[in-house]
Structure 1
Amino acid sequence: MFTIGCHLSSAKGYLKMAKDAVSIDGNTFQFFTRNPRGGKAKAIDPADVAAFHEYAGEHGIATFLAHAPYTMNPAAAKSETRQFAIELLTDDLARMENTPGQLYNMHPGCHVGQGMDTGIELIADALNQVLTPDQSTTLLLETMAGKGTEVGGRFDDLAAIIERVELSDKVGVCLDTCHVWDGGYDIADDLDGVLEEFDRVIGLDRLRAIHLNDSKNPLAAHKDRHAPIGEGCIGFDALAAVTNHPALRDLPFFLETPQDDLAGWGAEIAALRAAHVGE
């Protein structure tokens, strides 16, 4: 089944997000666990969670993706910034157990001039502090565009982090199409080659979700600016090919494209469904 959704507001709870997804023919969704710039998370309402589970079961929503705030940086040089990231991760992963078996995505972090090797070590150390043997949530490291001092702009970065994580069975990867394109991976003209490299370096068994976004920038720009599907430098046909690739087609896809309202994402979902083999 083609699983696709978009990024929704969590302000009114899980049930509202599920209903919004279904209203635009989505069968999954993504949301920020708290303000994307950081801050305290909204209290979870058990009644809302129970209603969500019932509604999700009735409408074929099996998976969603929670996204950590952008300000979280476990590779920070400042100890207080890094400690904040560890505390936030610990809290978010505990909250995720209210909806067991789901996905939690994070930007790996920025080494802020300390060097890539140090950044990798710090991120892995943070994950070793927060991951637990009994958690049901899979934490995903997102592929990045490689701007500034970002860690994760190359597949090797993510592989190096995962290699250092003791509970690595709790860790996967979310591939962002805009990010990998901006990072220099040509998914428009050499998708097979990119996936072969991903499999060699990380392993396709680690790939658990796709952020499906076009890019405002040319290949290898290292800038990270998302565009609506078909309105960027990657193009509709190439992104539709991503959803139809045998190694990817059964993964959940999440739109993070700039849209003014649900209708914009609904139009993208309709177009991608029409281009998806078997839809």
Structure 2
Amino acid sequence: MKFGCHISIKNGYLGAAKRAVASGASAFQYFPKNPRSLSVKDFDQEDAESCKSFCEEHGLISVAHTPYPTSLTPTEDKRELTIFSLLNDLEIANTCGSVGVVVHFGSQISKTDPLASYHLMLDMLNSVLRQWDGDCLVLLENNAGTKGALGTTFEELVQVRNLCEYPEKIGFCLDTCHAFASGLWNGENAEELFAKGQELGYWEELKIIHLNNSKYPTGSKKDRHANIFGLGHINEEQFETFIPSTLLKEIPFILETPDDEGISHKEEIEMLKQKWG
């Protein structure tokens, strides 16, 4: 099994990959540019290509995550900026050899038209992917249930992909904290979850799992990550029903857990490898 964590690019893309290996990781996630901005980055092509070569040499899988302001349901004044920013993220990640760019499912934009958000999401995805011909995928991530509670079900995620003009350019990222917070996975229904995903064809398109515990109970709709072992509301027995599934054996598990609450990512990765590796 492949376990990893989110890593800063303060020392460049190659530096992030080297830090991942030093942490005992076999996969890592990174922000391709400033995580608080939608600005387009004139990135170091040689550094990104070196990252790709290093990852191939060490069997390391990487994935990028869009900056925080990125939304597939933006306000009109942010629409073009978001499209250019996401295309920039895809270009950087593709050069780094990453499997995809994670982007959060959209938010509710209308109190009177429940379909407005989905229409805007599809328009945004089509606008971006019409201009994109690289190997890097857009990876839709499930939501925790906040901001209108969109993107909390497999049905929504799969349907948006199916309705897009370029479904082959879209995959999925499953966040365990978000699934727990939304009630999609309550810790006791893993068998039902796997069956539903198989029925809809979700697991075939899943590329990355964000492995996070939750600081709040299931159904809370609060997106607050906790460390995996003993520090959150998802216990080891519940993770045991999920992590070792044969459906997930090829999927990298990426930690987005706190690195400053008594356990480092390096220590947490080692514990995961000992428990489930």
TM-score by length of 2: 0.91
- 1:88-145 CA-to-partner distances (Å, cap 9, x unmatched) read 1122223333134621110022123354411111111111111146321111100111
Question: 1:41, CA displacement in angstroms?
Answer: 4.9
- 1:162-189 CA-to-partner distances (Å, cap 9, x unmatched) read 1221110111110000001111123521
User: What secondary structure is seen at the aligned counterpart in 2 of 1:104?
Assistant: strand
Task: Check 1:215–1:245 CA distance in 2 against 1; reply closer, same or farther (3 A cut).
Answer: same
User: What secondary structure is seen at the aligned counterpart in 2 of 1:242?
Assistant: coil
Q: Which runs of 4+ in 1 moved over 6 A?
A: none
Q: Which residue of 2 aligns with 1:79?
A: 76
Task: Check 1:42–1:144 CA distance in 2 against 1; reply closer, same or farther (3 A cut).
Answer: same
User: What secondary structure is seen at the aligned counterpart in 1 of 2:173?
Assistant: strand
Task: Check 1:213–1:82 CA distance in 2 against 1; reply closer, same or farther (3 A cut).
Answer: same
* Kept in 1: contact 2:161–2:170 (CA 8 A): yes
Q: 2:115 aligned with 1:128, yes or no?
A: no
- 1:233-276 CA-to-partner distances (Å, cap 9, x unmatched) read 11233224432111012101110001129961111111111111
Letter in 1 for 2:122: A
Q: 2:100 aligned with 1:99, yes or no?
A: no
Q: Gapped runs of 5+ residues in structure 2?
A: none
Task: Check 1:36–1:240 CA distance in 2 against 1; reply closer, same or farther (3 A cut).
Answer: farther
Q: Which residue of 2 aligns with 1:255?
A: 255
* Kept in 2: contact 1:3–1:27 (CA 8 A): yes
* In structure 1, C-alpha distance between the alignment counterparts of 2:108 and 2:79, rounded to whole Å: 11
Question: 1:39, CA displacement in angstroms?
Answer: 3.7
Question: 1:202, CA displacement in angstroms?
Answer: 4.6
* In structure 1, C-alpha distance between the alignment counterparts of 2:28 and 2:98, rounded to whole Å: 15
Task: Check 1:101–1:254 CA distance in 2 against 1; reply closer, same or farther (3 A cut).
Answer: closer
* Kept in 2: contact 1:182–1:222 (CA 8 A): yes
Calculate the aligned-residue CA RMSD, in Å: 2.1
User: How many matched pairs?
Assistant: 274
- 1:132-163 CA-to-partner distances (Å, cap 9, x unmatched) read 46321111100111112253122222122112
* In structure 2, C-alpha distance between the alignment counterparts of 1:229 and 1:10, rounded to whole Å: 24
User: What secondary structure is seen at the aligned counterpart in 1 of 2:115?
Assistant: helix
Identity %: 31
Moved more, 131-140 or 210-219: 131-140
Letter in 1 for 2:107: C
Moved more, 93-102 or 28-37: 93-102
Q: Which residue of 1 aligns with 2:86?
A: 89
Moved more, 236-245 or 161-170: 236-245
- 1:22-55 CA-to-partner distances (Å, cap 9, x unmatched) read 1111011101122222243543223323432343
User: What secondary structure is seen at the aligned counterpart in 1 of 2:258?
Assistant: coil
User: What secondary structure is seen at the aligned counterpart in 1 of 2:264?
Assistant: helix
